[in-house]
Amino acid sequence: MQVLLGILLWCVASYAAAHKPSDSYLTLQVGGERVAVQWDIALRDLDLALGLDADGDDRITWGELRARHEAIETYALARLRVEADGAVCPAGAVTHLVDQHSDGGYAVLRFDARCPAAPARLALRYVLLFDLDAQHKGLVQVNSEGRTLSRVFSEDSRTVEIALGDGASGTASAFLSYVREGIVHIAIGFDHVLFLVSLLLPAVLVRRDGRWHPADGARAAAIDVGKVVTAFTAAHSLTLTAATLGAVSLPSRWVESAIAASVVIVALDNLRPMLPLARWHAAFLFGLVHGLGFASVLGDLGLPPGALALSLLGFNLGVELGQLAIVATFLPLAWTMRAGRVYRQGVFAAGSVGVAAVATTWFVERAFDVKVFG
Protein backbone atom coordinates (compact mmCIF):
# COMPACT_ATOMS: atom_id res chain seq x y z
CA MET A 1 0.00 0.00 0.00
CA GLN A 2 2.95 2.30 0.62
CA VAL A 3 3.90 2.01 -3.02
CA LEU A 4 0.39 3.02 -4.03
CA LEU A 5 0.39 6.05 -1.79
CA GLY A 6 3.80 7.10 -3.05
CA ILE A 7 2.71 6.93 -6.65
CA LEU A 8 -0.42 8.93 -5.92
CA LEU A 9 1.43 11.69 -4.10
CA TRP A 10 4.08 11.82 -6.78
CA CYS A 11 1.46 12.39 -9.44
CA VAL A 12 -0.30 15.34 -7.84
CA ALA A 13 0.22 18.39 -10.02
CA SER A 14 -1.33 21.81 -10.22
CA TYR A 15 -2.13 23.79 -13.33
CA ALA A 16 -3.49 27.23 -14.05
CA ALA A 17 -6.44 27.94 -16.31
CA ALA A 18 -5.16 28.52 -19.83
CA HIS A 19 -5.62 31.49 -22.13
CA LYS A 20 -7.83 30.75 -25.05
CA PRO A 21 -10.30 32.70 -27.13
CA SER A 22 -13.90 32.22 -26.05
CA ASP A 23 -15.70 29.18 -27.48
CA SER A 24 -18.81 27.29 -26.51
CA TYR A 25 -19.32 23.68 -27.52
CA LEU A 26 -22.74 22.61 -28.71
CA THR A 27 -23.61 19.01 -29.52
CA LEU A 28 -26.96 18.05 -31.01
CA GLN A 29 -28.06 14.46 -31.30
CA VAL A 30 -31.05 14.15 -33.60
CA GLY A 31 -33.27 11.15 -32.87
CA GLY A 32 -36.69 11.49 -34.49
CA GLU A 33 -38.59 14.48 -33.09
CA ARG A 34 -36.26 14.64 -30.16
CA VAL A 35 -33.04 16.62 -30.43
CA ALA A 36 -30.78 15.97 -27.44
CA VAL A 37 -28.65 19.05 -26.81
CA GLN A 38 -25.48 19.39 -24.77
CA TRP A 39 -24.07 22.88 -24.45
CA ASP A 40 -20.74 23.60 -22.75
CA ILE A 41 -20.23 27.28 -21.90
CA ALA A 42 -17.07 28.61 -20.21
CA LEU A 43 -17.63 29.68 -16.61
CA ARG A 44 -15.38 32.66 -17.31
CA ASP A 45 -17.77 33.88 -19.99
CA LEU A 46 -20.86 33.27 -17.88
CA ASP A 47 -19.23 35.16 -15.03
CA LEU A 48 -18.68 38.11 -17.34
CA ALA A 49 -22.28 38.03 -18.53
CA LEU A 50 -24.10 37.18 -15.32
CA GLY A 51 -21.67 37.40 -12.40
CA LEU A 52 -21.16 33.96 -10.85
CA ASP A 53 -18.41 34.64 -8.34
CA ALA A 54 -20.63 35.81 -5.48
CA ASP A 55 -17.85 36.19 -2.91
CA GLY A 56 -15.35 37.72 -5.35
CA ASP A 57 -12.53 35.30 -4.55
CA ASP A 58 -11.91 34.47 -8.25
CA ARG A 59 -12.99 30.90 -7.58
CA ILE A 60 -16.39 29.60 -8.62
CA THR A 61 -17.76 26.88 -6.40
CA TRP A 62 -20.54 24.49 -7.31
CA GLY A 63 -22.66 26.27 -4.71
CA GLU A 64 -22.14 29.65 -6.37
CA LEU A 65 -22.89 28.13 -9.75
CA ARG A 66 -25.99 26.31 -8.50
CA ALA A 67 -27.37 29.56 -7.12
CA ARG A 68 -27.23 30.99 -10.65
CA HIS A 69 -28.57 27.97 -12.57
CA GLU A 70 -31.90 29.57 -13.30
CA ALA A 71 -30.25 32.75 -14.58
CA ILE A 72 -27.82 30.76 -16.74
CA GLU A 73 -30.66 28.73 -18.19
CA THR A 74 -32.72 31.79 -19.07
CA TYR A 75 -29.69 33.58 -20.49
CA ALA A 76 -28.46 30.69 -22.62
CA LEU A 77 -31.79 29.38 -23.91
CA ALA A 78 -32.78 32.87 -25.08
CA ARG A 79 -29.68 32.83 -27.28
CA LEU A 80 -30.19 29.56 -29.12
CA ARG A 81 -33.07 28.60 -31.36
CA VAL A 82 -33.56 25.15 -32.82
CA GLU A 83 -36.00 24.89 -35.71
CA ALA A 84 -37.20 21.84 -37.61
CA ASP A 85 -38.53 22.63 -41.10
CA GLY A 86 -39.59 26.11 -40.01
CA ALA A 87 -41.18 25.10 -36.70
CA VAL A 88 -39.50 25.94 -33.40
CA CYS A 89 -38.42 23.02 -31.22
CA PRO A 90 -38.89 24.25 -27.65
CA ALA A 91 -36.36 23.26 -25.01
CA GLY A 92 -37.42 20.92 -22.22
CA ALA A 93 -36.10 20.74 -18.67
CA VAL A 94 -32.38 21.49 -18.31
CA THR A 95 -29.92 19.29 -16.43
CA HIS A 96 -26.92 21.23 -15.12
CA LEU A 97 -23.46 19.68 -14.95
CA VAL A 98 -19.86 20.88 -15.08
CA ASP A 99 -16.84 19.81 -17.14
CA GLN A 100 -13.25 20.81 -17.86
CA HIS A 101 -11.96 21.94 -21.24
CA SER A 102 -8.41 22.93 -22.18
CA ASP A 103 -8.92 26.41 -20.72
CA GLY A 104 -10.74 25.61 -17.47
CA GLY A 105 -14.20 24.97 -16.06
CA TYR A 106 -17.37 24.92 -18.14
CA ALA A 107 -21.04 24.83 -17.26
CA VAL A 108 -22.76 22.00 -19.10
CA LEU A 109 -26.45 22.32 -19.98
CA ARG A 110 -28.31 19.26 -21.19
CA PHE A 111 -31.84 19.38 -22.49
CA ASP A 112 -34.12 17.96 -25.14
CA ALA A 113 -35.54 20.15 -27.87
CA ARG A 114 -38.88 18.67 -28.92
CA CYS A 115 -39.74 19.23 -32.55
CA PRO A 116 -43.27 18.84 -33.96
CA ALA A 117 -41.96 16.18 -36.36
CA ALA A 118 -38.67 14.50 -37.19
CA PRO A 119 -36.73 17.25 -39.01
CA ALA A 120 -35.61 16.99 -42.62
CA ARG A 121 -33.95 20.39 -42.36
CA LEU A 122 -32.58 21.65 -39.08
CA ALA A 123 -32.06 25.39 -38.66
CA LEU A 124 -30.05 26.79 -35.76
CA ARG A 125 -29.73 30.39 -34.67
CA TYR A 126 -27.02 31.21 -32.15
CA VAL A 127 -26.31 34.63 -30.60
CA LEU A 128 -24.52 33.79 -27.35
CA LEU A 129 -21.94 36.29 -26.04
CA PHE A 130 -21.32 38.17 -29.29
CA ASP A 131 -22.30 41.40 -27.53
CA LEU A 132 -19.56 40.90 -24.93
CA ASP A 133 -16.90 39.13 -26.96
CA ALA A 134 -17.06 39.78 -30.67
CA GLN A 135 -14.58 36.97 -31.32
CA HIS A 136 -16.63 34.38 -29.47
CA LYS A 137 -17.39 31.26 -31.49
CA GLY A 138 -19.98 28.55 -31.08
CA LEU A 139 -18.61 25.21 -32.23
CA VAL A 140 -21.58 23.02 -33.06
CA GLN A 141 -21.65 19.36 -33.91
CA VAL A 142 -24.82 17.72 -35.19
CA ASN A 143 -25.11 13.94 -35.06
CA SER A 144 -27.85 12.33 -37.04
CA GLU A 145 -28.19 8.78 -38.31
CA GLY A 146 -24.53 8.05 -38.04
CA ARG A 147 -23.43 11.25 -39.72
CA THR A 148 -21.60 14.02 -37.89
CA LEU A 149 -21.59 17.57 -39.18
CA SER A 150 -19.52 20.38 -37.70
CA ARG A 151 -20.24 24.08 -38.08
CA VAL A 152 -18.93 27.25 -36.46
CA PHE A 153 -21.10 30.15 -35.33
CA SER A 154 -19.43 33.54 -35.21
CA GLU A 155 -20.47 37.16 -34.94
CA ASP A 156 -21.09 37.37 -38.66
CA SER A 157 -22.41 33.85 -39.10
CA ARG A 158 -25.24 33.34 -36.64
CA THR A 159 -27.45 30.86 -38.44
CA VAL A 160 -26.78 27.40 -39.74
CA GLU A 161 -29.05 25.18 -41.83
CA ILE A 162 -28.47 21.49 -42.11
CA ALA A 163 -30.23 19.04 -44.39
CA LEU A 164 -30.69 15.75 -42.56
CA GLY A 165 -32.33 13.65 -45.28
CA ASP A 166 -35.45 11.52 -44.97
CA GLY A 167 -34.06 8.94 -42.57
CA ALA A 168 -35.02 5.87 -44.63
CA SER A 169 -31.52 5.22 -45.95
CA GLY A 170 -30.02 5.77 -42.56
CA THR A 171 -30.93 2.56 -40.74
CA ALA A 172 -27.88 0.55 -41.72
CA SER A 173 -25.48 3.41 -41.21
CA ALA A 174 -27.13 4.25 -37.89
CA PHE A 175 -26.65 0.67 -36.74
CA LEU A 176 -23.01 0.76 -37.83
CA SER A 177 -22.49 4.07 -36.06
CA TYR A 178 -23.70 2.52 -32.80
CA VAL A 179 -21.36 -0.43 -33.34
CA ARG A 180 -18.57 2.07 -33.86
CA GLU A 181 -19.55 4.00 -30.71
CA GLY A 182 -19.40 0.76 -28.74
CA ILE A 183 -15.91 -0.05 -30.01
CA VAL A 184 -14.74 3.50 -29.39
CA HIS A 185 -16.10 3.43 -25.88
CA ILE A 186 -14.10 0.31 -25.06
CA ALA A 187 -11.00 1.67 -26.77
CA ILE A 188 -10.99 4.95 -24.84
CA GLY A 189 -12.66 3.62 -21.70
CA PHE A 190 -9.51 2.84 -19.77
CA ASP A 191 -11.50 1.61 -16.80
CA HIS A 192 -13.12 -1.22 -18.76
CA VAL A 193 -9.83 -2.14 -20.44
CA LEU A 194 -7.98 -2.24 -17.12
CA PHE A 195 -10.74 -4.28 -15.50
CA LEU A 196 -10.60 -6.86 -18.24
CA VAL A 197 -6.82 -6.99 -18.30
CA SER A 198 -6.66 -7.37 -14.52
CA LEU A 199 -9.06 -10.30 -14.74
CA LEU A 200 -7.05 -11.89 -17.52
CA LEU A 201 -3.57 -11.36 -16.05
CA PRO A 202 -3.67 -14.51 -13.88
CA ALA A 203 -5.37 -16.66 -16.54
CA VAL A 204 -2.04 -17.96 -17.82
CA LEU A 205 -0.85 -18.77 -14.30
CA VAL A 206 -1.93 -21.25 -11.64
CA ARG A 207 -1.67 -20.72 -7.92
CA ARG A 208 -0.05 -23.52 -5.90
CA ASP A 209 1.32 -23.39 -2.34
CA GLY A 210 0.58 -19.65 -2.11
CA ARG A 211 2.68 -18.85 -5.21
CA TRP A 212 2.01 -18.30 -8.88
CA HIS A 213 3.32 -20.78 -11.43
CA PRO A 214 2.97 -20.80 -15.22
CA ALA A 215 -0.08 -22.77 -16.40
CA ASP A 216 0.78 -25.98 -18.25
CA GLY A 217 -2.36 -26.60 -20.27
CA ALA A 218 -3.47 -24.13 -22.95
CA ARG A 219 -6.89 -25.78 -22.85
CA ALA A 220 -7.44 -25.06 -19.15
CA ALA A 221 -6.27 -21.47 -19.62
CA ALA A 222 -8.58 -20.98 -22.60
CA ILE A 223 -11.56 -22.36 -20.67
CA ASP A 224 -10.70 -20.07 -17.81
CA VAL A 225 -10.60 -17.03 -20.12
CA GLY A 226 -13.80 -18.15 -21.84
CA LYS A 227 -15.64 -18.36 -18.54
CA VAL A 228 -14.46 -14.92 -17.41
CA VAL A 229 -15.26 -13.20 -20.69
CA THR A 230 -18.66 -14.88 -21.04
CA ALA A 231 -19.65 -14.01 -17.48
CA PHE A 232 -18.58 -10.38 -17.95
CA THR A 233 -20.42 -10.13 -21.27
CA ALA A 234 -23.62 -11.73 -19.99
CA ALA A 235 -23.69 -9.50 -16.93
CA HIS A 236 -23.06 -6.18 -18.64
CA SER A 237 -25.46 -6.97 -21.48
CA LEU A 238 -28.11 -7.63 -18.86
CA THR A 239 -27.71 -4.33 -17.02
CA LEU A 240 -27.07 -2.36 -20.22
CA THR A 241 -30.43 -3.51 -21.55
CA ALA A 242 -32.23 -3.06 -18.24
CA ALA A 243 -30.90 0.46 -17.75
CA THR A 244 -31.52 1.54 -21.35
CA LEU A 245 -35.13 0.35 -21.10
CA GLY A 246 -35.47 2.32 -17.87
CA ALA A 247 -35.88 -0.68 -15.59
CA VAL A 248 -32.83 0.24 -13.48
CA SER A 249 -31.55 3.70 -12.71
CA LEU A 250 -28.68 4.58 -10.41
CA PRO A 251 -26.84 7.88 -9.93
CA SER A 252 -23.90 8.03 -12.36
CA ARG A 253 -21.45 9.04 -9.65
CA TRP A 254 -22.31 5.87 -7.75
CA VAL A 255 -21.90 3.75 -10.86
CA GLU A 256 -18.63 5.36 -11.96
CA SER A 257 -17.18 5.04 -8.45
CA ALA A 258 -18.22 1.40 -8.26
CA ILE A 259 -16.56 0.71 -11.61
CA ALA A 260 -13.32 2.24 -10.35
CA ALA A 261 -13.63 0.22 -7.13
CA SER A 262 -14.13 -3.00 -9.10
CA VAL A 263 -10.83 -2.40 -10.93
CA VAL A 264 -9.01 -1.79 -7.62
CA ILE A 265 -10.44 -4.95 -6.05
CA VAL A 266 -9.60 -7.22 -8.99
CA ALA A 267 -6.06 -5.81 -9.27
CA LEU A 268 -5.41 -6.18 -5.53
CA ASP A 269 -6.85 -9.70 -5.63
CA ASN A 270 -4.09 -10.57 -8.11
CA LEU A 271 -1.47 -9.52 -5.57
CA ARG A 272 -3.09 -11.19 -2.59
CA PRO A 273 -6.10 -13.38 -3.32
CA MET A 274 -8.93 -12.32 -1.03
CA LEU A 275 -12.16 -12.60 -3.00
CA PRO A 276 -14.23 -15.50 -1.72
CA LEU A 277 -15.39 -16.12 -5.28
CA ALA A 278 -14.21 -17.83 -8.42
CA ARG A 279 -12.89 -15.25 -10.90
CA TRP A 280 -15.77 -15.78 -13.30
CA HIS A 281 -18.21 -15.12 -10.47
CA ALA A 282 -16.38 -11.86 -9.79
CA ALA A 283 -16.48 -11.06 -13.51
CA PHE A 284 -20.27 -11.52 -13.49
CA LEU A 285 -20.85 -9.51 -10.31
CA PHE A 286 -18.74 -6.54 -11.40
CA GLY A 287 -19.91 -6.87 -15.00
CA LEU A 288 -23.36 -5.84 -13.78
CA VAL A 289 -21.89 -2.50 -12.67
CA HIS A 290 -19.91 -1.96 -15.88
CA GLY A 291 -23.11 -2.50 -17.89
CA LEU A 292 -24.72 0.41 -16.06
CA GLY A 293 -21.71 2.52 -17.10
CA PHE A 294 -22.18 1.52 -20.75
CA ALA A 295 -25.84 2.45 -20.47
CA SER A 296 -25.08 6.02 -19.43
CA VAL A 297 -22.81 6.40 -22.48
CA LEU A 298 -25.55 5.07 -24.73
CA GLY A 299 -27.99 7.46 -23.06
CA ASP A 300 -25.67 10.40 -23.80
CA LEU A 301 -25.58 9.44 -27.46
CA GLY A 302 -29.32 9.95 -27.63
CA LEU A 303 -31.57 7.14 -28.74
CA PRO A 304 -33.90 7.37 -31.67
CA PRO A 305 -37.23 6.09 -30.29
CA GLY A 306 -37.98 3.98 -33.37
CA ALA A 307 -34.65 2.23 -33.33
CA LEU A 308 -34.09 1.50 -29.67
CA ALA A 309 -33.51 -2.21 -30.11
CA LEU A 310 -31.29 -1.62 -33.10
CA SER A 311 -29.04 0.90 -31.36
CA LEU A 312 -28.88 -1.22 -28.21
CA LEU A 313 -27.86 -4.23 -30.25
CA GLY A 314 -25.34 -2.23 -32.28
CA PHE A 315 -23.73 -0.63 -29.27
CA ASN A 316 -23.52 -3.92 -27.38
CA LEU A 317 -22.02 -5.61 -30.43
CA GLY A 318 -19.42 -2.85 -30.63
CA VAL A 319 -18.55 -3.30 -26.96
CA GLU A 320 -18.09 -7.06 -27.47
CA LEU A 321 -15.95 -6.54 -30.57
CA GLY A 322 -13.73 -4.10 -28.71
CA GLN A 323 -13.47 -6.51 -25.82
CA LEU A 324 -12.62 -9.43 -28.12
CA ALA A 325 -9.87 -7.37 -29.70
CA ILE A 326 -8.32 -6.82 -26.27
CA VAL A 327 -8.51 -10.52 -25.38
CA ALA A 328 -7.08 -11.50 -28.77
CA THR A 329 -4.15 -9.14 -28.36
CA PHE A 330 -3.43 -9.77 -24.73
CA LEU A 331 -3.78 -13.53 -24.45
CA PRO A 332 -1.25 -14.85 -26.99
CA LEU A 333 1.30 -12.39 -25.61
CA ALA A 334 0.67 -13.43 -22.03
CA TRP A 335 0.73 -17.12 -22.94
CA THR A 336 4.17 -16.91 -24.56
CA MET A 337 5.55 -14.82 -21.72
CA ARG A 338 3.99 -16.72 -18.84
CA ALA A 339 7.00 -18.82 -17.86
CA GLY A 340 9.42 -15.89 -17.56
CA ARG A 341 10.15 -13.83 -14.49
CA VAL A 342 9.37 -10.71 -16.54
CA TYR A 343 5.73 -11.78 -16.76
CA ARG A 344 5.22 -12.80 -13.15
CA GLN A 345 7.10 -9.88 -11.61
CA GLY A 346 7.13 -7.16 -14.26
CA VAL A 347 3.79 -7.61 -15.98
CA PHE A 348 1.66 -9.47 -13.46
CA ALA A 349 2.81 -8.03 -10.13
CA ALA A 350 3.95 -4.55 -11.14
CA GLY A 351 1.08 -4.30 -13.64
CA SER A 352 -1.44 -5.10 -10.91
CA VAL A 353 0.14 -2.51 -8.60
CA GLY A 354 -0.03 0.06 -11.37
CA VAL A 355 -3.62 -0.75 -12.26
CA ALA A 356 -4.62 -0.58 -8.60
CA ALA A 357 -2.90 2.80 -8.28
CA VAL A 358 -4.61 4.27 -11.31
CA ALA A 359 -8.00 2.90 -10.33
CA THR A 360 -7.64 4.16 -6.76
CA THR A 361 -7.09 7.63 -8.18
CA TRP A 362 -10.23 7.28 -10.29
CA PHE A 363 -12.17 6.04 -7.31
CA VAL A 364 -11.08 8.96 -5.11
CA GLU A 365 -11.84 11.43 -7.89
CA ARG A 366 -15.22 9.98 -8.73
CA ALA A 367 -16.45 9.20 -5.24
CA PHE A 368 -15.33 12.41 -3.57
CA ASP A 369 -15.33 14.57 -6.68
CA VAL A 370 -11.85 15.91 -6.16
CA LYS A 371 -9.21 16.31 -8.80
CA VAL A 372 -6.06 14.41 -8.01
CA PHE A 373 -4.70 15.63 -11.32
CA GLY A 374 -4.98 19.17 -12.56
> 185, 174 in Cβ contact below 8 A?
no
The residue among 37 and 307 lying less far from other proteins, judged by its C-beta, is: 37
Strands (E), 154-283: 159-163, 205-208, 211-214
By the 10 Å C-beta count (0-12 exposed, 13-18 middle, 19+ buried), 12 is classed as: exposed
CB of 315 to other proteins, least distance (A): 17
Q: Which of 71, 45, 75 is nearest to 60 (CA)?
A: 45
The residue among 23 and 224 lying less far from other proteins, judged by its C-beta, is: 23
Cα 203 to Cα 5, 88, 187, distances in angstroms: 28, 57, 22
Q: Which of 184, 287, 181 is nearest to 229 (CA)?
A: 287
User: Whole-angstrom Cα distance, residue 106 to residue 45?
Assistant: 9
The residue among 44 and 227 lying less far from other proteins, judged by its C-beta, is: 44
CB of 117 to other proteins, least distance (A): 29
CB of 8 to other proteins, least distance (A): 9
CB of 95 to other proteins, least distance (A): 9
The residue among 70 and 369 lying less far from other proteins, judged by its C-beta, is: 369
CB of 259 to other proteins, least distance (A): 11
Beta bridge partners of 83: 88, 123
The residue among 311 and 352 lying less far from other proteins, judged by its C-beta, is: 352
- Local structure of 153: helix, strand or coil: strand
User: Whole-angstrom Cα distance, residue 306 to residue 338?
Assistant: 49
The residue among 20 and 207 lying less far from other proteins, judged by its C-beta, is: 20
CB of 274 to other proteins, least distance (A): 22
The residue among 105 and 318 lying less far from other proteins, judged by its C-beta, is: 105
CB of 275 to other proteins, least distance (A): 23
User: Whole-angstrom Cα distance, residue 224 to residue 229?
Assistant: 9
